[in-house]
Amino acid sequence: MQETSTEFGKYSVLMSVYAKDKSEYLKQSIDSMLDQTIPPDQFVLVKDGLINSEIDSLINQYVREFPDLFTVVTLKENHGLGVALDEGIKYCKNELIARMDSDDISLPDRCAKELKLFKNNPRLSIVSGNIGEFENDLQNIVSIRKVPELHRDIVKRMRIRSAFNHPAVMYRKSDVIRCGGYGKLRRKQDHVLFSHMLHNDCRGYNIQDIILLFRADRDSVRRKKCWGNCRDYIKAQMILFKRNECNVIDLCYVVLSQIVVFIIPYRIYKALVMAFFREGIRT
């Protein structure tokens, strides 16, 4: 049973799509937001460069079915997630924005839980929560990506890695804009933005329940180990260091750890991720 968005406040969904997205996954993702117990009253969808005809057809189908809900923003060239989201934010009509990726699945009460927190605590600027990582099908949840609950622990974690699960974030539009938005980084843009927000009087909270299912295949783990990802992690940390949002020890830790990540064999890296950064639930 759906509630009305006016009980806790209205919100916009913000999603970016690009050429490599799969239409099947995109449909599941969009439907999971349309099926929220408190549905959005706006869905901003950014086309980040040219997309394939199958995805374009699917988007047009949603626009025809929900003409008053969808706002489609088209970028002529692919600029990366950060630039696409910054552009999309301009079109969001509500103060509260729920981020959503084009291949993940939000649980039905995700946004209701986030909206309630914003209603009960007007000082909050960023809310996210734990996410379940699945392989192949939704019933095959293999791990939980946990994030710290309280603001003080979030700030501490943010010094070396993001303390929010970006695909499950809801935030205040005005605070994101005030703190400069995502910027032009192609990776780790959320870490840079959220760190800056926390150092500019924004408060965060993480729900300790699983509120989103994340598609985690073998390739997603391998992408974390590629040099491009490691390099951009170091670049992001350098930005934090220059803004005095972390110290030299934090910077050295990230630089050394990313070099190690790139060098060590894949199987060792995956074992370390499961041991230190995930809560495994395999039986």
Task: List Cα–Cα distances, 191 to 20, 66, 69, 110, in angstroms.
Answer: 23, 33, 30, 22
The pTM of the full predicted model, rounded to 2 decimals, is 0.91
Residue 177 has pLDDT above 60, yes or no: yes
Structure tokens at 125: 């600027």
Q: How far apart are CA 53 and CA 50, in angstroms?
A: 9
The pLDDT of residue 223? 67
Q: Name the CA dihedral angle for 211, 217, 221, 224, rounded to a multiple of 10 degrees.
A: -70
Q: How far apart are CA 210 and CA 235, in angstroms?
A: 30
Share of the chain above pLDDT 90, in %: 75
Is the separation of the CB atoms in 112 and 3 below 8 Å? yes
Q: What is the pLDDT of residues 53-102, one digit of tens each?
A: 999 999 999 999 999 999 999 999 999 999 999 999 999 999 999 999 99
Q: What is the pLDDT of residues 209-242, one digit of tens each?
A: 999 999 876 566 666 778 888 899 999 999 999 9
Q: Three-state secondary structure along the chain?
A: CCCCHHHCCCEEEEEEECCCCCHHHHHHHHHHHHCCCCCCCEEEEEEECCCCHHHHHHHHHHHHHCCCCEEEEEECCCCCHHHHHHHHHHHCCCCEEEECCCCCEECCCHHHHHHHHHHHCCCEEEEEEEEEEECCCCCCEEEEECCCCCHHHHHHHHCCCCCCCHHHCEEEHHHHHHCCCCCCCCCCHHHHHHHHHHCCCCEEEEEEEEEEEEECCHHHHHHHHCHHHHHHHHHHHHHHHHCCCCCHHHHHHHHHHHHHHHHCCHHHHHHHHHHHCCEECCC
